[in-house]
Structure 1
Amino acid sequence: MLRIKVPLKNILPAVTLALWGARALSAYDRSVLAEYNDLYKNGNYQSALEGYADIISKEPANPCGFYNAGNAYFRMNKPGPAILYYSKAWRLDPRNADIRANLEFALKQTGQAFVPDGVPRVLHYLYYYLSDDELKTAAAAAWWALFLLVSFYFLKPKSAAGTRTPLLAAGGLLALAGLWFIARSVSPFRDGAVITGEAPARLMSGPGENFKAYAALPEARLVKILDDTDDNYYEIAIPKEGIKGWVKKTSAEKI
């Protein structure tokens, strides 16, 4: 059985684990967040983690809770959940330098690369500059602008002489956002998951114990989900190794 090794280097102090407290939480009490951060600073990571989980449950679209939870898990020497929560935070706010740095560092410590070999860092940064939600919003805004401009053009053609440039701009933005979103389908973070439990997770040739296990995936391994319709198993791919198979859903968590 193939064992895919992902070494965990125990050099936690090297990572930037500054807590996120400055950014406003839209509905969450900042004083409560400060209390959780104090627990973290005093080394009470489990209690701090429970607080951050409460933030996540109340504000799932805010990266703050995910980022701080990732820090707590990293300090608890749990690389799988740390990478999972850093990834969740980064997908919400891909331009945040702290999230990016911590995710990259955590991946590096488990033998994985944040920026693929041969890809310029600037190109990688631009590829992820907008979140998926931002791309969807840009595409929706461009579609509505295009719809309104086309409607105006046909309803009042005499008054629509100056709409050509806005039409082209809206059409171009719609095409760009759509193509950008499609291009992101190959991203390991789109439909991604992280091995977090029952590590090493057995990679099976089919969805069941009767199938052959031909690889072992260590904790923190980033994988791509191909199919999640089975009740107990995910079909996953490991693009770098060029292999795919099935793992128990209890072994991996979706990003």
Structure 2
Amino acid sequence: MKTIFAVIAALFLASLPAAAFEKDFIEAQTAYDEGRYSDASMLYADMVSNGVDNVALQYNLANALFKGGDLPEAIWHYRKAYYAAPRDPDIGANMHFALNAAGAIEPAPSLIQRSLATLSQNEWIVVAVGAYAAMALLLILALLIPAAKRNLSKLSLLPVALILLSAAGWWQWKQLEIHPEWVVVNSGATTLYGPVTGSTAHFKVPLGALVRQKSVDPKGWIEIEYDGTRGWLERKYIKRVSP
């Protein structure tokens, strides 16, 4: 799978004007293959910060960070790659390994949530557009062929179902904007019962943990949920993954 991602990234980079980032990509790949993970991470990160943001680069950057021992940043980039390619087994497996290495508990979505997350947000949009087009075509055919109107009306139930399903899938991903995910990137993260310094300590969150925002306090505190338990955490301990 690593080779596939490398090919995809190479093709993408080759399509850019004057292959602006091709040299950095090759250097990063070489550094990674030679075990110079810090150099590879820096080169991949520079490419992402300069606007070349795709699944292949996020995945490669995460791998370099993981190999270099920077688990929090590796998990952050694995999660970014997962958003774009939720069905990719290597992204899921490596993120699982990274979370285990960090001693963090992996999120456990429900069966419905897992099913709706099978397609990315952009893929659900494509499904919806295709379903709308199919429904419009069936309606036109029903007008042009009155004798087939009954059967075409029955067939139109399929695109209607797909539209409803894609709306549910899109809404599932939309929740990441309403309740974004964060990664704990600084050690010493202990949640409190309230968003006030000096409030009673609640529970510790391991470095690299993936948490979900539930609410926000204007003073810079985030109410997070981790392993089914909520607590307040200062923003300085976490880095937002979701859009």
Q: Map 1:21-36 to 2 at 5 A.
A: 21-23=6-8, 24-25=11-12, 27=16, 29-36=21-28
Greater CA deviation, 209-218 or 107-116? 107-116
Tell me if the contact between 2:106 and 2:210 (Cα under 8 Å) persists in the aligned partners: no
Distance 2:35 2:174 in 1: 39
1:227 and 2:215 matched: yes
Q: Which residue of 2 aligns with 1:169?
A: 158
CA deviations 1:192-241 (Å, max 9, x no partner) are 211112x1212122333243332221201111111346352222111x2x
What SS does the corresponding residue of 2:202 show, helix, strand or coil? strand
In structure 2, the CA distance between the partners of 1:204 and 1:125, relative to structure 1 (3 Å rule), is closer
1:59 and 2:52 matched: yes
What SS does the corresponding residue of 1:77 show, helix, strand or coil? coil
1:248 and 2:234 matched: yes
Q: Map 1:213-224 to 2 at 5 A.
A: 213-224=201-212
Tell me if the contact between 2:121 and 2:169 (Cα under 8 Å) persists in the aligned partners: no
CA deviations 1:128-179 (Å, max 9, x no partner) are 4311221233234434554x35874898795982642442121010122223
Tell me if the contact between 2:102 and 2:206 (Cα under 8 Å) persists in the aligned partners: no
Q: Which residue of 2 aligns with 1:48?
A: 40
Paired residues, number:
230
Distance 1:180 1:130 in 2: 8
What SS does the corresponding residue of 2:119 show, helix, strand or coil? coil
Distance 2:4 2:27 in 1: 12
Q: Which residue of 1 aligns with 2:72?
A: 80
In structure 2, the CA distance between the partners of 1:220 and 1:153, relative to structure 1 (3 Å rule), is same
Distance 1:140 1:208 in 2: 47
Q: TM-score, normalised by structure 2?
A: 0.76
Q: Which amino acid aligns with 1:21?
A: A
In structure 2, the CA distance between the partners of 1:163 and 1:228, relative to structure 1 (3 Å rule), is farther
Distance 2:26 2:126 in 1: 32
In structure 2, the CA distance between the partners of 1:38 and 1:170, relative to structure 1 (3 Å rule), is same
Distance 1:231 1:144 in 2: 47
Overall identity of the aligned pairs, in %: 24
In structure 2, the CA distance between the partners of 1:233 and 1:115, relative to structure 1 (3 Å rule), is closer
Higher helix share: 2
Tell me if the contact between 1:149 and 1:163 (Cα under 8 Å) persists in the aligned partners: no
C-alpha deviation, 1:78, in angstroms: 1.8
Q: Which amino acid aligns with 2:91?
A: I
What SS does the corresponding residue of 1:25 show, helix, strand or coil? helix
Distance 2:209 2:31 in 1: 29
Q: Which amino acid aligns with 1:105?
A: F
CA deviations 1:15-52 (Å, max 9, x no partner) are x9889422132536444311111122333333322221
Structure 2 residue ranges without an equivalent (≥5): none
Tell me if the contact between 1:21 and 1:34 (Cα under 8 Å) persists in the aligned partners: no
In structure 2, the CA distance between the partners of 1:237 and 1:181, relative to structure 1 (3 Å rule), is same
**Higher relative contact order (Cα pairs below 8 Å, separated by 6+ residues):** 1
Structure 1 residue ranges without an equivalent (≥5): 1-15
